[in-house]
Amino acid sequence: MAQPLRAAITGMGYSVPKRVMHNSEFEKFLDTSDAWIAQRTGIHTRHVAGPDESTVTLSLDAAKAALADAKIAPEELDMILVCTVTGEMPFPATACFVQAGLGIKNIPAFDIAAACSGFVYGLSVASKFIETGAYKKILLIGAETLNRFSDYTDRGSCILFGDAAGAVVLEPTTDLHRGVQYTGLYCDGSGWDLINIPGGGSRHGTSHETVDARMHYVKMSGREVYKFAVEKMQGLLGECMEKCNLTVDDVDMVVPHQVNIRVIESAMSKFDFPMEKVHVNIDRYGNTSTASIPLALTECRDMGKVKAGSTIIMVAFGAGLTWAGGVVRL
Ligand SMILES: CC(C)(COP(=O)(O)OP(=O)(O)OC[C@H]1O[C@@H](n2cnc3c(N)ncnc32)[C@H](O)[C@@H]1OP(=O)(O)O)[C@@H](O)C(=O)NCCC(=O)NCCS
């Protein structure tokens, strides 16, 4: 019988665009204020991709950092997964560009589109490939350039988003207490209309009319998404602890999708999670969608907040509507 395996995170890295945009910049062209944005979301600044940056350039920088951290060469990879809903082009998959950028060929490379839940979906997919023994070294990237799709005339959504990429390398371990311990993935497609980009797909192909109607930008019902986010973040936290028999004391760090500081604080208060055990960086990066968890995870590790043996819960939710949670031991 094959030896049981877990998928361990052996390397991590992230990349953000050079340009930092402060809330006060929005005051110049929108009826908003630095104080409103900071108080309602927790965001002060975000990084915004410039003309020479894209989902692929950020992905490649994050991937190279994660590969160096794992001490493996691109040629050793068996698979590349990129989680994104702001891909380089409608097709081919962004993962194909990343493969070419790393100078390798012939290994599978594909995208996963689960919006802000993407990275946890990807972690689940990658860990199953490793646990079955089918693949050994998988590069998993969460990357997003939502500012390319933000409607800078819509103060209810454009103030939220930041651009970034985060990457991890996953490899098999026979130590069953290490690596991905649990993932739970969910979707309620009937909520598709709460957050989407309606134009440019098969339903509304690109035309002068779709451009004039601003259909190529993010449309969002903020208040409804907010309620959904609080409910799902609480549910996922409880589920992750129950499935892995964890108490609050057993958890070293929660790395939540960086959606809104108020959402994160209300979810944590349900379980009396001390905020010192919750990594928050939304103040500096905004909501970077699927990049937010691998970015926060890497930052947490670099700051010494987590290390080998730490137990981490990840929780995310986003367009779809999708939501997903996972437990990882480093
Ligand atoms: C978008 C969000 C910040 C809005 O905050 P909120 O407290 O829910 O605010 P509401 O939408 O209820 O709006 C309250 C008022 O503020 C106004 N407002 C909205 N955006 C504003 C802005 N940037 N500046 C000033 N006022 C703003 C609204 O027009 C509304 O005014 P009204 O009462 O006169 O109608 C919040 O709902 C949110 O973070 N939702 C989650 C969205 C998300 O993260 N989506 C990504 C998917 S993971």
| Residue from 27, 30, 32, 40 whose mutation best tests the ligand 1 pocket (most atoms within 8 A of CB) | 40
Pairing between β-strand 179-187 and β-strand 19-22 as defined by DSSP bridges: unpaired
Atom nearest to 41 CA in ligand 1: 3
- Specify the amino acid at residue 140: L
Helix (H/G/I), strand (E/B), else coil: 211: helix
Q: Compute, in angstroms, the gap from residue 41 CA to the centroid of ligand 1.
A: 9
CB of 155 closer than 6 A to ligand 1?
A: yes
Angle between helices 292-302 and 118-131 (to 10 degrees): 80
CA separation, residue 312 to residues 12, 67, 111, 186 (Å): 15, 21, 25, 20
Residue 187 known to be catalytic:
no
The pLDDT score that the predictor gives to residue 272 is 87
Quote the pTM value.
0.96
What is the side-by-side order of every strand in the sheet holding 109-112?
Answer: 6-15, 164-173, 138-144, 79-83, 109-112
Q: What is the DSSP letter of 215?
A: T
Q: Give pLDDT tens digits for 36-81.
A: 999 999 999 999 999 999 999 999 999 999 999 999 999 999 999 9
The pLDDT score that the predictor gives to residue 276 is 94
CB of 223 closer than 6 A to ligand 1?
A: yes
CB of 226 closer than 6 A to ligand 1?
A: yes
The pLDDT score that the predictor gives to residue 179 is 98
Q: Which CATH superfamily is domain 6-177 in?
A: Thiolase/Chalcone synthase (3.40.47.10)
The pLDDT score that the predictor gives to residue 2 is 81
pLDDT reading at 278 higher than 90: yes
pLDDT reading at 1 higher than 80: no
pLDDT reading at 125 higher than 90: yes
In percent, the amount of the chain with pLDDT more than 70 equals: 100
Beta bridge partners of 172: 7
Q: Average pLDDT of 319-325? A: 97
Domain ranges of the chain: 6-177, 180-329
The pLDDT score that the predictor gives to residue 90 is 95
Q: Compute, in angstroms, the gap from residue 229 CA to the centroid of ligand 1.
A: 14
* C-beta of residue 288 within 8 angstroms of C-beta of residue 116: no
Beta bridge partners of 219: 196
Closest residue by Cα to atom 16, ligand 1, is 156
The pLDDT score that the predictor gives to residue 104 is 98
Instruction: Find the length of the chain.
Output: 330
Q: 6-177 and 180-329 share one CATH topology? A: yes
Of the pLDDT bands very low, low, confident and very high (cuts 50, 70, 90), residue 98 is very high
Q: Average pLDDT of 300-328? A: 97
Which residues have CB under 8 Å from 97's CB, separation 6+? 56, 59, 88
Closest residue by Cα to atom 26, ligand 1, is 32
| Residue from 223, 292, 293 whose mutation best tests the ligand 1 pocket (most atoms within 8 A of CB) | 223
CB of 320 closer than 6 A to ligand 1?
A: no
Residue 287 known to be catalytic:
yes
Q: Average pLDDT of 125-151? A: 97
Within 13 Å, how many C-alpha atoms sit on residue 46's CB side? 33
Pairing between β-strand 79-83 and β-strand 109-112 as defined by DSSP bridges: parallel
- Specify the amino acid at residue 292: S
* C-beta of residue 299 within 8 angstroms of C-beta of residue 14: yes
Distance CA 146, CA 85 (A): 8
Q: Of these residues, 116, 158, 240, 300, which one is catalytic?
A: 116
Q: Average pLDDT of 198-225? A: 96
* C-beta of residue 124 within 8 angstroms of C-beta of residue 272: no
CB of 115 closer than 6 A to ligand 1?
A: no
Of the pLDDT bands very low, low, confident and very high (cuts 50, 70, 90), residue 239 is very high
Q: Which CATH superfamily is domain 180-329 in?
A: Thiolase/Chalcone synthase (3.40.47.10)
Q: To the nearest whole number, what is the mean pLDDT of the chain? A: 97
Closest residue by Cα to atom 17, ligand 1, is 156
